[in-house]
Every structure is written in structure tokens, then in C-alpha cells.
Structure 1
Amino acid sequence: MGRQAGPRGVAVAVVLLFALAGCGGSAGSADGKRDGAGGGPPAGGAAKPVTGDVLPGLVGAAEARSRLAALVVAKPGTMAGYSRDKFTHWAEQGDKCDTREVVLRRDGKNVTQDAQCRAVSGTWKSLYDGADITDAAKLDIDHMVPLAEGWRSGAAGWDAAKRKAFANDLTRPQLLAVSAASNRSKGDQSPDLWQPPDKSSWCQYGRAWTTVKSYYKLTVTPPEKAMLTTMIDTCAS
């Protein structure tokens, strides 16, 4: 027969129980596992969407579904004639600031800039992977709909002014500061080929991509549309 635990033993046991209950994985999914890119629909334990939009001009989930349904479905166009130089970026925005520095200031907290408008300090939360970043040099400004993706879904037929507006759009959810690693992992891939590893961002990502493509009247492919539907379906009702 074991010795009965005294008050001190009970207290220790309670502390241990609370410690075990509080143990969890990293943010990004309910089961504590952070899924990589390229996956399909979220599993049964999908992460809850990030609360509070961090991107400008986002439409709600219902409106995003409506706009997605209205997009023209087509095969991707060719990359013939494509060059990033045909999308003027980063444009001057006044006070020695270009679009990149404006986005860094907008998306960060306690951002300080030097006389040339360069961000010298601040903190940023990368939407795609949840990374906390304090060095602006480790951030990229991502085009939600990449320039190359825009080209093969309609921008090849635009004039230079419209391409410049697309590449420097501060009104819609087209630009955001994210970790350089996540941005370079994404490249110019559409949502069916790359998804943010932090699934809690899928709601915003799907709505943002749809908002931009709808505004610029760009086409979507069937797999792209299917994954956007999956992403928007992660939004809280």
C-alpha cells in the first residue's frame, strides 16, 4: 500500500497537471503541428483564422465568395515577353520614400526611419509563417498576386501605367511585409501550388488574392479557384 500524499505532494501534483495541460505545439494549427507548403485542404484540426485583418482593402468572406464565383476561369497564359522591368517598382511615394518603405512602416510596430526613409528599427509579424522579425533586411515586400502570375492571367495585355499601379498598389491587399524565407518559398506560384505554412492566415490570404484578382479582372485556373474556395472556407462564420 503506497504512502498517502500530504499537502505538499498534492500541491506538486496539481502544478504538474497544469504544466502538462498547458503544453502545446507552435501556433499555426490546432494540433500543434505546422504544416508545410503545397498541402491540400486543412485537416480536421485546422487552425483558427487570425483575428483582425492586417491587410488593407480586404472584402469579407461572403463578398470574396461572390467575387471568386464571378472570375473568369481560363488556362494560364504564356510567359512570352515577361519581364519584371515591365512592372515599375518600387515607385516613389514622396518624402524620399518608395513603396517598399511605405509598406514596412505600415505593416510594422514602432517603426523608425532614417533621413532617407529607410526602416532602421521596428517589429514585424510575418503573416505567412508567423515569424517575429526585428530586422527590416530580413523582410521582403510580397506581391500577393505575383507579377509573373499577373502576367499570365491578364497583365500581359496591360499598358505600362496599369502594370505600375498593380506593382505598387497600397489601397488593395496586394502588398505586405513578410519574412524573406516565406516570400522566396512562394515565388510566383498560385494558391493551388503554394499556401502559407501557417494555416491561420489562409482566410486572409484567400480573400486577399480574390480581392486583387477581382479588382484587376485577372483570370483563375480551376485548381487555383478550388484552393481559394478552401482557403475562404477557413474563415470564421
Structure 2
Amino acid sequence: MRIRAAILAVLLLPLAGCDLLEQASDPFDDTEAVAPAPSYSPSTAREQLPALRVAERRPAGVPDYSRREFGTAWKDVDGNGCNQRDDVLLRDAVPGTTVVQAQRSCPHDVLAGTWVDPYSGTQLTFTDLKDQRQAQAIQIDHVVPLAEAWVSGAHAWPAERRERFANDLEVLLASDGPTNASKGSSDPAAWRPKAPFQCAYATHWIDVKHRWQLAVDRSEARALTEMLATCDPS
């Protein structure tokens, strides 16, 4: 299931006018610039979940979490000239709404656009992402938070692997700032999105933990099982 399959049907409103949009170039439409968001299958997630290693919620001997253990934020790990924040903003925007500019080595520094929050369905339209208040209102979320990854096994990884995880486009989503703040470092046992988005959230979470060989605890696994039950039978 695609993370945004249910939410892109939300009625979209036109972008509000402003000087930036009047002066900027036409909306960016380069499908080769950033790979599309991957699909996640409920049937695959149901197979992957019981195969995940089960561990205690807070395993003994794990050092305290620190963000600096995951290296540079939004590092251009895919080498396309743009930081990961701009890559995610471009990928997750409602098609045809983004306004971009070339900046240094990046051909798609995102200036404006419309997004739909993957956890609440809230429509987010921003006219000037160089304005700090607007930039803070759309954030890049780690589906599996870094602090959660740390206690689930990342504390034992080499620093280079942690940095790759923190900047993996398949771990990242453009999200509403307040919603992302409420999610924080919680796992699915402590935080869930609105009901229509729980299937997409659970399948994505399981995919990340499976690909990166991270553990789950029992309460987390129960919550994921419950959310998978909300998926369509197909």
C-alpha cells in the first residue's frame, strides 16, 4: 500500500498567491529527479512482522541516545546534489504543485507547494519555505524515529550505517509539524495516526524494521498487528 494512496484523494485547494509564486518558474515536473515513494504491501508486512527479532523495550546496557550518533542531518547520501529534505519535499508533494529553484549543486531547492500529511490527512500549502515559520510547519519525519532505532539495534551499528539510516529516503516522510512533534520518538504502542492511515503506517514501519534488521518489543508487535487488521483484505 502506498503511504499516500488514501490521502491523495483529499479535495485539494489552489495555492494561495504571493510574490514568490508570481516570480518563480513554472512548477517543477521532473519525474526522474527523485524516485517515487515505494509501495508497502500488507500481505508482505504480515509475513515480515513475526520474523522480526523480539527484544525488551529498553535492553540492558544500551547507551543513552544522542542525535549526533546518527551523523549529519539531511546529508546528500544519494549524491544527486540536493539534501535529503529537499528530496523528500519534492517526492511527497502533491504532483504539479511544487515551485523550485536551482541552488548551488541542487536543481530542486523546494520553495513552495502543497502536501498532505500522511498521518492525519491534513492539507499543507506553503508559499515561501524560505520563511522560517513556514519551513518549521512542514517537517521531515523518520517513520521509525532515530531514538527508537537506537534502542532497537542501531546503537551497535558503525557510525556510517547510522548516518545512512538517518538519511534513507525510504525511512523519511514529509509531515505536518505539530503531528510530527506529537509522534516524537514514540513507537506504535505509544502513538498511532488517525484510523484511516494506520494500515499505511504499520506496513511502512514494519518494512523499515525488516530492511534494517531492527528489533521489536512485544507491545510494539501487538500494536502493529492491530493496525494491520485495518488493512483491506486485498
TM-score above 0.5, yes or no: yes
> Partner of 1:86 in structure 2?
69
Q: Tell me, yes or no, if the aligned pair for 1:58 and 1:211 is still in contact at 8 Å.
A: no
- Counterpart position of 1:156: 155
Q: 1:71 aligns with which of 45, 49, 52?
A: 52
Partner secondary structure for residue 89 of structure 2: helix
Aligned with 1:177: secondary structure? strand
Taking structure 1 as reference, are residues 216 and 65 closer, same or farther at Cα in structure 2, changes over 3 Å only?
A: same
Which residue of 100, 109, 114 corresponds with 1:118? 109
In structure 2, the CA distance between the partners of 1:74 and 1:94, relative to structure 1 (3 Å rule), is closer
Cα distance change of structure 1 residues 208 and 95 upon mapping to structure 2, 3 Å threshold: closer
TM-score (norm 2): 0.73
Give the 3 Å change call, closer, same or farther, for CA 155–95 of structure 1 in structure 2.
Answer: closer
CA 95–213 in structure 1, closer or farther in 2 if over 3 Å, else same: closer
Q: Deviations over 1:11-35 (max 9, x none)?
A: xxxxxxxxxxxxxxxxxxxxxxxxx
Counterpart Cα distance in 2 of 1:154 and 1:165 = 14
1:76-225 alignment runs, 5 A limit: 76=57, 77=59, 80-88=63-71, 89-92=73-76, 93-94=78-79, 96-109=81-94, 110-116=97-103, 117-135=108-126, 136=129, 137=135, 138-170=137-169, 172=170, 174-196=171-193, 198-225=194-221
- CA distance in 1 between counterparts of 2:109 and 2:174 reads 14
- Single out whichever of 117-126 and 225-234 deviates more from structure 2: 117-126
How far does the alpha carbon of each residue in 1:128-172 deviate from its partner, in whole angstroms, 9 at most, with x for none? Answer: 1111111251111000000000000000000011111111112x3
- Confirm or deny: 8 A CA contact 1:60 1:207 kept in the other structure: yes
Q: What is the Cα deviation at residue 193 of structure 1? A: 0.1
1:92-127, Cα deviation, whole Å (9 max, x unpaired): 254641000100000003212223343211110001
> How many percent identity over aligned positions?
39
RMSD, aligned α-carbons: 1.9
Secondary structure of the equivalent of 2:141?
Answer: strand
Separation in structure 1 between the aligned mates of residue 40 and residue 198 of structure 2, nearest angstrom = 14
Aligned in 2, Cα 1:129/1:59: closer, same or farther, shift over 3 Å?
closer
The within-5 A match list for 1:31-42 is: none
- The alpha-carbon deviation at position 51 of structure 1 amounts to 7.2
Alpha-carbon separation, structure 1, partners of 2:90 and 2:120:
20
Q: How many residues of Structure 1 are paired with residues of Structure 2 in the alignment?
A: 184
Classify the secondary structure of the residue corresponding to 2:98: strand
Q: Give distance in 2, aligned partners of 1:94 and 1:214.
A: 25
TM-score scaled by structure 1?
0.72
**Paired letter, 2:215:** T
Which runs of 5 or more structure 1 residues have no equivalent in the other structure? 1-48
1:108–1:51 Cα change, 3 Å: closer
- Corresponding residue for 1:59? 40
> Residue 169 and residue 95 in structure 1: after superposition, are their counterparts in 2 closer, same or farther (change >3 A)?
closer
Q: 2:6 aligns with which of 14, 26, 50?
A: 50
Q: Distance in 2 between matches of 1:155 and 1:70?
A: 18
Runs (5+) with no aligned partner, structure 2: 9-35, 130-134
TM-fit CA distance, 1:58 = 3.6
